[in-house]
Structure 1
Amino acid sequence: MIIPEQIRGARAMLGLTQAELAKSAGISTTGLNNIERGSADPKASTLRAIQAALENAGIIFQSDGELIAGGAGVRLARLKE
């Protein structure tokens, strides 16, 4: 599952506001704000909706095992030339 830091980082990379991401994911802006601050315990389906919205916008999520230095991360998908 994705973590709040990944959501914030991905959103920043894309230049999305919380309202824009929340709309894409089908959740409230307040709900997204609470998730990003770590003050909510969202359902797995909510995290999947956020992840799908970010992936559709061009983000790739990396898990602990995919990173050399450890820790979860995000990156922009390589654009097709």
Structure 2
Amino acid sequence: MSNSLITPAQCRAARALIEWSRERLAGASQVALRTIVDFERGARSPRVVTMLALRAALEKQNVVFLANGEAVNGGPGVRLHVRQPQEGLRPEDLNAANDD
């Protein structure tokens, strides 16, 4: 669902997954708190640029947005992308060339 809009339910669910308050999302996205409150309540449809800013801030926290039908028998949703820990170099690969 890359570069598309999000639903109010997805915004609420994404915040819950990463344990963010509306205030924290407002700060991270540079979107007014009142806009977020109204959007999540379904009282307002923000401009596209505003919704993309909300989405980008949440995606930076590893939230993945799912389109309608992207999951089996599911509607639009969210999930967390779990990043694999970086393992670094194996001991046998260490040498003077990678001493920086």
Aligned residue runs from structure 1 range 1-81, under 5 A: 1-81=5-85
Deviates more, 1:49-58 or 1:22-31: 22-31
Report the TM-score when normalising by structure 2. 0.77
Cα-Cα RMSD: 0.9
- What are the ranges of 5 or more consecutive residues in structure 2 without an aligned counterpart? 86-100
Report the TM-score when normalising by structure 1. 0.94
Report the count of equivalent residues. Answer: 81
1:27 and 1:36 map into 2 onto residues whose CA distance is 13
Instruction: Tell me by how many angstroms 1:70 deviates.
Output: 2.6
Runs of 4+ in 1 over 2 A off after TM superposition: none
Q: Percent identity?
A: 35
- What are the ranges of 5 or more consecutive residues in structure 1 without an aligned counterpart? none
Higher helix share: 1
Q: Give the number of the structure whose alpha-carbon radius of gyration is greater.
A: 2
